[in-house]
Amino acid sequence: MPRYRMIVEYEGTGYSGWQRQQAGVLSIQEAIERAILASGQEEATVHACGRTDAGVHARGQVAHVTLAKNWPPFKLMEAVNFHLKPQPIALLDVSIVPDDWHARFSCIGRWYRYRILCRRAPPALDKGRVWSVGYKLDPNAMQAGADRLLGRHDFTSFRASLCQADSPIRTLDRLEVRAVEDEIQITAAARSFLHHQVRNMVGTLALVGQGKWTPDDVTRALEARDRSAAGPTAPAEGLYFMGAVYPEE
């Protein structure tokens, strides 16, 4: 039974997130599984590198599926994409991987990007794809705050109350803030993240960008190990799962 690695792009608006939910609530996972069933009359479970929340998007989600039928990868990609239409979900690449390769457990790194639109006019083309704040943010101040979060820490202050991770300890390898025209783009990379960690860090850095907080306030929030000590959770619509790293790459 061949195992296939898939690179998936999707626009998460209107979906419950990656994870399959109860009947009547469509998820990205279920949409792809339905397309596989329609392609080859075969029920299969698709496993992802990371589960994205409702409204979160992906440019490079990594997933795998094991099938009974031996498909040429390109043919499988074309068939699944055909049955995904007109949904905003697409397989960008499909390849055969070893039987013990796992999209989640073989992964050694993940990275996300968050987009904040900093202008008075609301987004017309990117509605639902950016956090539109309506005011300017200082990227240099935000980067100074972001630097306080780099490294290995207890990220309890940036963890959702419903997070199921065994430990709040994570190592943040990269947290980069840059201005791109009217946007602030924040890139975060780590081996793994806590539930809502990126969105909570972004909400906190936005306070620094507004001048309401200083980088020292970010350090105090981190050291408090208390969710109420950090900033608000940024909206899901600005977050993108960009890609994953594996040992063989």
CA distances from 133 to 102, 115, 117, 238 (A): 38, 11, 6, 11
CA distances from 20 to 69, 113, 123, 129, 217 (A): 23, 24, 30, 22, 38
Q: Is the peptide bond before 86 cis (omega within 30 degrees of 0)?
A: yes
CB-based contacts of 132-136 (< 8 A; 24+ apart in sequence): 133/206, 135/210
Q: Which amino acid is at 188?
A: A
CA 29, CA 78: separation in Å to the nearest integer?
Answer: 18
Query: E-strand spans in the chain?
Result: 3-10, 47-48, 57-66, 89-97, 109-117, 131-132, 151-154, 169-180, 183-190, 239-245
53 annotated active-site: yes
CA 31, CA 15: separation in Å to the nearest integer?
Answer: 10
Token pair belonging to 166 = 């065994």
* Residue 94 DSSP SS3: strand
Query: E-strand spans in 15-81?
Result: 47-48, 57-66
Catalytic residues, by residue number, are 53
